[in-house]
Amino acid sequence: MNRNPDVDRWFERDHPLDAALRRAREIILGADERVTESIKWKTPTFAFQGNIASFNPSKSVVRRFVDLDDVEAGRADLERAIRAWCDRKAGR
């Protein structure tokens, strides 16, 4: 996984959706080794040849997930979406 220390530090803050945010991060980074993360717009942003997604912790959802159970239920779809993005950007 391409973990970024700046993003690790961002996660040191307390947030009501902490478990869901952390799990979504693991799934996104684990879905494809080409995905990287950084802090953009003061929030974790995931990218491969362009931005894929950013967290918006001021909202009450993570992407379209409302809690950790929802993240787990949508895991396969999220992984497929990340892989499809990377493959498309890579010209596959």
Q: What is the pLDDT of residues 29-56, one digit of tens each?
A: 999 999 999 999 899 999 999 999 998 8
pLDDT for 61 equals: 60
User: Cβ atoms within 10 A of the Cβ of 28, count?
Assistant: 22
Q: Please state the pTM of the whole predicted model.
A: 0.91
Average pLDDT in the 77-82 region?
A: 96
Q: How many CA atoms lie within 13 A of 48 on its CB side?
A: 19
Question: Two tokens at 29?
Answer: 């980074």
- d(CA 39, CA 54) in angstroms, rounded, equals 9
In the chain, where the domains are located: 5-89
Average pLDDT in the 63-92 region?
A: 93
pLDDT for 90 equals: 94
pLDDT for 60 equals: 64
The CATH code belonging to domain 5-89 is 3.90.1150
